[in-house]
């Protein structure tokens, strides 16, 4: 496909089943349309380079054709065959190119990019990838999956793998994006379950279960109910890779204790799915009960953090609703499902306390909505003077969403 290319994918909230999802238990996640990542792919003047400009994490890096020519990428089939473990020969070839990058944020984002680019774009050069996100990064809201999905869709298009129907992404194309973004997620956090990239690809909400043979069972929930909730970001940094590794270590040390806990989390997700299919005034309290239990179990496996417990204890002491961490935990975000009788005054007080006393950020956001989307080249070209400045470091998040948000911005995104 010709340049420019613009893609976008949403963040997500896991309602039930984070961590246990990695161990083949069912889990439920919903997309969050207002927290999206956007990727713009443009031609560079220098036809010899591939450039990454990811200002959200302070990454601006160029690779020259000579360095990139060291990589002998596996074919698509070979890479998919390595869906349990990333291709070791390709990993070894990428290592020298990744060496100059600092810290895990930059390293993992660049690793994800280079892996997908090598597999899907072969020897194409003279191109720049710019990423901006309206979602907090590393906060449990699926930022890694949304960037992986944006990259899989963009490099899939640029590499000529996704060009069947210009007016709609077909089921096969979405499956391709899901498959490759899963590989991208592996670069970022080692052993993902695949739930985050699935919901960022297909949108809406999913009941997801990884199978022992590494296949996945995916049920799309199209009319996800609007659950009355406040989402709170503690802004405490953490890494999904480290947290998932911690649970793996714990299960190795205490298998008889941890396995039943993970199974119970799976039961919570299955029960939760039944309630969510017909959420009403009479069963909201049952949903809240499951939320409280799921948070307690996540705490017992070491996925909480004192900063998350602040949100839980405030919601408990104000009797305003039920709180559960979401995503990998260890910091990042929690949501609070509001009780039916929570007053507007108390809701404001709850948010205000978290923001002013703890410097947390609260969001009141709808769940569900579109998954990955792209903007046709002509539409980008017509709006390029508005689009390009949004990818600068100084651009602010509200301008990004105001100009680009699918369903709000007026741009003709293809779903």
Ligand X SMILES: Nc1ncnc2c1ncn2[C@@H]1O[C@H](COP(=O)(O)OP(=O)(O)OP(=O)(O)O)[C@@H](O)[C@H]1O
Q: Which residues are catalytic?
A: 196
Report the residue number, 232 or 240, with the smaller CB distance to Mg ion: 240
Residue 240 within binding range of Mg ion, rule CB under 5 A: yes
Q: Which of 4, 27, 5 is nearest to 16 (CA)?
A: 27
| Binding residue count for ligand MEV, defined by CB under 6 A | 14
Report the residue number, 174 or 333, with the smaller CB distance to ligand X: 333
Question: Of the listed pieces 13-21, 142-150, 157-165, 378-386, which binds Mg ion according to CB under 5 A?
Answer: 142-150
> 321-326 and 333-338 as β-strands: parallel, antiparallel, unpaired?
antiparallel
Question: Of the listed pieces 37-45, 69-77, 175-183, 187-195, which binds ligand MEV according to CB under 6 A?
Answer: 187-195
Q: To the nearest 10°, the Cα dihedral for 143, 104, 62, 401?
A: 20
Residue 238 within binding range of ligand MEV, rule CB under 6 A: no
Report the residue number, 42 or 144, with the smaller CB distance to Mg ion: 144
Question: Of the listed pieces 70-78, 137-145, 364-372, 374-382, which binds Mg ion according to CB under 5 A?
Answer: 137-145
Question: Of the listed pieces 41-49, 129-137, 235-243, 384-392, which binds Mg ion according to CB under 5 A?
Answer: 235-243
Residue 21 within binding range of ligand MEV, rule CB under 6 A: yes
What residue number has its CB nearest to ligand X? 327
Residue 375 within binding range of ligand MEV, rule CB under 6 A: no
Q: Using CB under 6 A, which of 195, 229, 230, 320 touches ligand MEV?
A: 195
138 binds, among Mg ion, ligand MEV, ligand X, none (CB under 5 to 8 A by kind): ligand X
Tell me how far apart the alpha carbons of residues 210 and 25 are, in angstroms, rounded to a whole number. 7
* Number of alpha helices (DSSP H) and beta strands (DSSP E) in the chain: 15, 12
Least CB distance from residue 343 to ligand X, whole Å?
31
Report the residue number, 181 or 401, with the smaller CB distance to ligand MEV: 181
CA angle 199, 204, 206 (to 5 degrees): 55
Asked if 14 contacts 28 with a C-beta cutoff of 8 angstroms, the reply is yes
195 binds, among ligand X, ligand MEV, Mg ion, none (CB under 5 to 8 A by kind): ligand MEV
Kindly give the residue spans of alpha helices, DSSP state H, lying in 278-390.
284-300, 306-317, 344-358, 377-382, 384-387
Helices 195-202 and 143-158 pack at an angle, to 10 degrees, of 60
- Backbone phi, then psi, for 233, in 5-degree steps? -100, 115
Report the residue number, 96 or 237, with the smaller CB distance to ligand X: 237
Interface residue list for ligand X (CB under 6 A): 37, 54, 56-57, 104-105, 108-109, 131, 133, 137-145, 147, 188-189, 196, 239-240, 327-328
Asked if 53 contacts 393 with a C-beta cutoff of 8 angstroms, the reply is no
Number of Cβ within a 10 Å radius of residue 158: 20
Residue 144 within binding range of Mg ion, rule CB under 5 A: yes
Tell me how far apart the alpha carbons of residues 372 and 413 are, in angstroms, rounded to a whole number. 10
Least CB distance from residue 404 to ligand MEV, whole Å?
24
Tell me how far apart the alpha carbons of residues 141 and 328 are, in angstroms, rounded to a whole number. 9
Provide the terminal-to-terminal Cα distance of the chain, rounded to the nearest Å. Answer: 17
Question: Of the listed pieces 12-20, 285-293, 333-341, 372-380, which binds ligand MEV according to CB under 6 A?
Answer: 12-20
Tell me how far apart the alpha carbons of residues 378 and 400 are, in angstroms, rounded to a whole number. 20
Instruction: Output the CA–CA distances (angstroms, integers) from residue 69 to 94, 118, 125, 248, 402, in the order listed.
Output: 11, 10, 10, 37, 40
Least CB distance from residue 384 to ligand MEV, whole Å?
34
Residue 244 within binding range of ligand MEV, rule CB under 6 A: yes
Report the residue number, 17 or 320, with the smaller CB distance to ligand X: 17
Applying CB under 6 A, which residues contact ligand MEV?
A: 14, 18-19, 21-22, 142, 192-193, 195-196, 240, 244, 327-328
Binding site for Mg ion (CB under 5 A): 144, 240
């Amino acid at each position: 496909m010709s340049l420019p290319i613009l893609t976008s994918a949403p963040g997500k909230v896991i309602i039930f089943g984070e961590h246990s999802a990695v161990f083949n238990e069912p889990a439920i996640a919903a997309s969050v349309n207002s927290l999206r990542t956007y990727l713009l792919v443009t031609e560079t003047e220098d036809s010899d380079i591939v450039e990454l400009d990811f200002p959200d994490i302070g990454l601006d890096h160029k690779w020259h054709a000579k360095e990139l020519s060291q990589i002998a990428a596996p074919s698509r089939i070979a890479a998919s065959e390595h869906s349990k473990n990333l291709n070791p020969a390709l990993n070894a070839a990428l290592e020298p190119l990744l060496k100059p990058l600092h810290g895990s944020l930059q390293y993992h984002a660049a690793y994800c990019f280079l892996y997908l680019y090598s597999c899907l774009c072969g020897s194409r050069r003279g191109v720049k990838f710019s990423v901006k996100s309206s979602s907090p990064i590393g906060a449990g809201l699926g930022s890694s999956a949304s960037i992986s999905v944006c990259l899989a869709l963009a490099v899939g298009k640029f590499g000529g793998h996704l060009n069947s129907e210009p007016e709609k992404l077909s089921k096969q194309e979405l499956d391709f994006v899901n498959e490759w973004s899963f590989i991208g997620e592996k670069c970022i956090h080692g052993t993902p379950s695949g739930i985050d990239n699935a919901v960022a690809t297909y949108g809406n909400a999913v009941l997801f279960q990884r199978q022992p043979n590494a296949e996945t069972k995916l049920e799309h929930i199209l009319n996800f109910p609007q659950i009355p909730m406040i989402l709170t970001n503690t802004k405490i940094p953490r890494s999904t890779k480290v947290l998932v590794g911690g649970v793996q270590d714990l299960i190795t040390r205490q298998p008889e204790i941890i396995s039943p806990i993970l199974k119970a989390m799976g039961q919570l997700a299955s029960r939760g799915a039944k309630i969510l299919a017909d959420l009403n005034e009479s069963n909201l309290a049952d949903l809240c009960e499951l939320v409280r239990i799921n948070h307690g179990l996540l705490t017992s496996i070491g996925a909480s953090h004192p900063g998350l417990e602040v949100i839980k204890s405030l919601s408990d002491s104000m009797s305003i609703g039920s709180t559960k961490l979401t995503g990998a935990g260890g910091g990042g975000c929690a949501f609070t499902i509001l009780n039916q009788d929570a007053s507007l005054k108390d809701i404001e007080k709850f948010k205000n306390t978290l923001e002013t006393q703890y410097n947390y950020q609260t969001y009141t956001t709808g769940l569900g909505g579109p998954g990955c989307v792209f903007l046709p080249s002509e539409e980008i070209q017509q709006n390029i003077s508005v689009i390009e400045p949004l990818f600068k470091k100084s651009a602010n998040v509200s301008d990004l969403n105001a100009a680009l948000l699918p369903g709000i911005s007026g741009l003709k995104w293809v779903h």
